[in-house]
Amino acid sequence: MARSRCGCTSDRAAVRDMDDLVDAIGRHGTLIGDGAAGTEFSRLGWDAGEIPRLPLTHPEAVIDLHLEYLKAGARVLETHTFASNRSKLAQLGLHNDAYEINRRGAQLARHARDIFGENAWILGSVGPLALPVDSPVVTGTGPEDALAAYREVVAGLMAGGVDAFIVETMSDIPTVLAAMQAIRAESQAPVIVTFAFSPEGTTLYGLTPEMAAEAMASVPGGPPLLVGANCGSGPSPLLDAILRMAPIAERLGIGLAAFPNAGQPQWHGGQVLYPAGPQYVANLAQALKASGCGLVGGCCGTGPEHIRMLAHGQPEPWAHLHWGGTSLGEEGEMAAEERTSLRHVGRGVGEILAERGFVISVELDPPRGVNVHRLLEAARSMAEAGADLINVADSPMARVRLSAAATCRIVQEEVPISTILHFTTRDRNLMGLQSDLLGAYTLGIKNVLCLTGDPPGLGDYAAATAVYDLDSIGLVKVTQALNLGVDAVGLKLGSPTGFEVGVGLNVNAVSFSDELDRLRQKLDAGANFVMTQPIYEVEQLQRFLDGAGPIGIPLLVGVMPLVSLRQAQYLNNEVPGITVPERILSRLERESQGAAEIGVALAVELIDQVANRCQGVYLVPSFNRVAPLIPIIEHIERRYRRAVPRA
C-alpha cells in the first residue's frame, strides 16, 4: 500500500541490517566486491565527460553494469558516485547536481540488487575531492568546505538507501577525516576506508600503509569496519601494502579490504590499457584472501570477467536463475509432479485474529527480476520472528516487478507463511481482473487487498495505458461476487471462492469527508478488513476513527519505522497520505546519529498507543530491510498475542 519504502531486539542492536554484513564477513571469510565502473564504461564507449552523469542521463547503463557484476559473483556493489562531490562535478558544470547524482546512484544499485534477487550489500562510494584538505604541498580545500561537500554526498547516498559507505582512493588523512565526520554526522552505518598506494608504497601525499592504518584509530566515530587499499597499483604491489597494514589493523580490531587494479595502466594507440588478465588477478587475489581480507574486488581495468574468476575461478557464467530459491541447475532431478504439488492454502486475516488476538503483517516488494532468493530470506526471517502474513505489493510505484500473485504462491510454498495479495485495477480489464482473481484463489491465496493502483505516469512507463474498468470499490464488489459463486454479470461459476477482502484507508486524506464516504462504500461493498497508510502519531488515527465511528471489521494500522531525518522529510513532503509530525522531525534533527534506533522506539510507542483501537499492524520496511522490524514484532508477541496451543 505504501508508495515509498524506506528496529528492543534480544541482545543485540539489530536496528541496522548492516550487522548482516559483519556477520557475512565472519561466515564467509571473504566477500567478493565488484570491479571498476569508470574504465569499464570507457571500454563500453562512453565519453569521459559523460560517465559521472550516467546516473541521471542513462540510468539503465548503470543498472546493467551492476547486474553484470552481480551475475559474475559480486555480493558487494559500490554506487557509481566516486567522482560525485561538488568539487569534482564543478569541472563538468554539475556542482549543483551532487545530491541528486548520489541519490540516484544509490537507488540504481538497489534497483539492480532487486532485479537480481540475491542478497548483496550496497556501499556508497565516497571519493576524494578535487584538491586535498589542508595540503602542505598544494593549495587545498579548507576543512569546512570539505565537510560541507561530503555532507551533501552522504545525504544523497542515504536518501538513495545505501547499506554502508566506502571512503576510497584516499591519499591524505585530513580528507578521510572530513569524509568520516560527514558520515558520522548522519549515520552509524559501517564504513570501509581504502587508500591508493603507488608501486613505490606511498600515496600521492606520502602516506605509507603503516601510517594510513595507524590513523584509523582516531577517525570520527571510531575505527572503520575495514581498512585497505584500492587503485594506485596492480595486485602485487597492493598485496604488499595490505601485508604491511595487517598487523596494525589486527591490533586495532579492524578488518582488511583490497581492490587492485588490473596491473599498471599503459598508454597505447590513444587508449589506456591494463595488462593484467582475469586469471592473473584471481591468482593474486587468493593471496589477498589468505592475508585476511574480508572484502576483495577490483578497481581500474577490472571488469565482470575479472570478478567472475575472483569469485568462481572459472570463466563460465554463473547460473543465477532460481525458482523458489532452488537453482535451476540443481533442480534437474526434481520430478515434475513435485513442482506442481498441491498448493499451500493461506490462512485468512480473520482466522489468524481469532487464534492470536492481534495480527502482524509485513509488506515486501516482489523482485524486479525472476530471482526470489532475497525475498524468501526476508519472508523467512519475518515468519521466524512471529509475523503472520506477508503482504505483497502489485508493481508498486507503477514499476515492473514479478507478478504479485506468483510471489504470494512462492512465499506460501517455500516459507511457508500466509500472504495478502495487493491487487490493483490499473492493469486489467474486467475480464482479466476476474480471471486473475480466480487464478490467485486456485494458487491458495486467501487474502486480497483491493486497490485502485498508482497511475503509470508515476513509474517507468509513462506511455503505458491504464485500464481502470473498476476502482477499488468496484473490485470489492466483484471479489465478493466470486465468493458467492458468480461473476460480475451474474453468470454462475463452478464453485465459489473464499477470499477475505481487504481495503485501504488514508487517515491523513486531504478531505476527511471524501475518505469517509469511500470507506463506507467499501464496507457496504463487503470489505472484510481495513489496512491504513503508515501513520506516525496516534492522533492521526484517533481523529479519523472518532469522526467515522465503529468500523465493524478488523483494522490493521500501517507502521513504517523511520531510519533518518531525510527519509522522514521525504515521506512528509513527497508521499501522499503520509504525515510525519514536527516533534518527530525535530527529534531526528537533534539526534541524527541514533535515527534508526529512534525510529524503532517510536514505532513501538505508536503500536502501544493504537493497540486498543485496532486488531493488528502491517509493518513496512525501509528499502526492504527487515531486520529493524524484528524487535517490533518481538514486542508485539510479548505484549499483545495469545500463545498458540501446542499440538
pLDDT at residue 270 greater than cutoff 70: no
How much is the pLDDT for 12?
Answer: 33
Contact 190, 18 (CB under 8 A): yes
Angle CA 251–256–258, to nearest 5:
150
pLDDT at residue 249 greater than cutoff 70: yes
Distances in whole angstroms, Cα of residue 314 to Cα of each of 201, 306, 552, 628:
31, 10, 62, 38
How much is the pLDDT for 26?
Answer: 67
pLDDT tens readout for residues 535-584: 999 999 999 999 998 999 999 999 999 999 989 998 888 887 889 999 99
Written as one letter, the residue type at 240 is D
* Cα of 410 vs its chain's centroid, Å: 21
Phi, psi of 130 (to 5 degrees): -65, -30
All three cell numbers of 439, joined, read 487464478
Q: 594 falls in which pLDDT band (50, 70, 90)?
A: confident
pLDDT tens readout for residues 207-231: 999 999 999 999 999 999 999 999 9
Dist. CA 76–CA 71, nearest whole Å: 12
Domains of the chain: 31-312 (3.20.20.330), 349-556+614-640 (3.20.20.220)
pLDDT at residue 439 greater than cutoff 80: yes
pTM of the model: 0.77
All three cell numbers of 597, joined, read 534506533
How much is the pLDDT for 19?
Answer: 53
pLDDT at residue 426 greater than cutoff 60: yes
Contact 294, 29 (CB under 8 A): yes
pLDDT at residue 317 greater than cutoff 70: no
Q: Choose between 636 and 139: higher pLDDT.
A: 636
Lowest-pLDDT choice from 150-159, 301-310, 327-336, 435-444: 327-336
Q: 150 falls in which pLDDT band (50, 70, 90)?
A: very high
Q: 593 falls in which pLDDT band (50, 70, 90)?
A: confident
How much is the pLDDT for 601?
Answer: 96
- Mean pLDDT within 230-244: 90
Cβ-proximal residues to 462 (8 Å cutoff; 6+ apart), any chain: 456
pLDDT at residue 195 greater than cutoff 60: yes
How much is the pLDDT for 285?
Answer: 81
Angle CA 206–208–209, to nearest 5:
145
With H, G, I as helix, E, B as strand and everything else as coil, classify residue 471: coil
pLDDT at residue 333 greater than cutoff 70: no
First to last CA, the chain: 35
